[in-house]
Amino acid sequence: MQQVSRSINDVAVLELSGRFDSHAAPAVSAWMDSVTGRQPARVVVNLSGVHFIDSAALSALVSGMKRCRTGKGELYLCCLQQPVRIIFELTRLNRAFTIFDEEAIAVAMLTDRTIS
């Protein structure tokens, strides 16, 4: 799996591609640890290139979301491919996460959230 991170308007963005599985989850968790130390933690995970996700990856995302919320921040997901979206629906995690179709909208929502 490939992992590219960047910052847009103080929002940490992680773009993933490939298989997001138990082999890749520790690297994502480590990245989450590094960016959730800021208060409030504002994170967008772009899954546009992810075609497979397993329970370890879901756990890494849930842990990251909890760390963000503990710090009065938020973690949003965006650009889910259909196979990944189905996993989120089957596990009902689509109800726990805020999911956007476009990265720019997710970033804008997090930016607006801190201004108000």
Q: What tens digit of pLDDT does each residue of 45-102 get?
A: 999 999 999 999 999 999 999 999 998 999 999 999 999 999 999 999 999 999 999 9
Of the candidates 54, 56, 55, 95, the residue with the CA atom closest to the CA atom of residue 77: 95
The CATH topology of domain 2-110 is Transcription Regulator spoIIAA (3.30.750)
114 pLDDT more than 80: no
Domain ranges, ordered by start, for the chain: 2-110
Taking the mean position of all CA atoms in its chain, how far away is CA 92? 16
pTM assigned to the model: 0.94
Q: What tens digit of pLDDT does each residue of 6-42 get?
A: 999 999 999 999 999 999 999 999 999 999 987 889 9
What is the full DSSP assignment across 2-61?
EEEEEEETTEEEEEEEEEESTTTHHHHHHHHHHHTTSSS-EEEEEEEEEEEE-HHHHHHH
Average pLDDT, the chain: 94
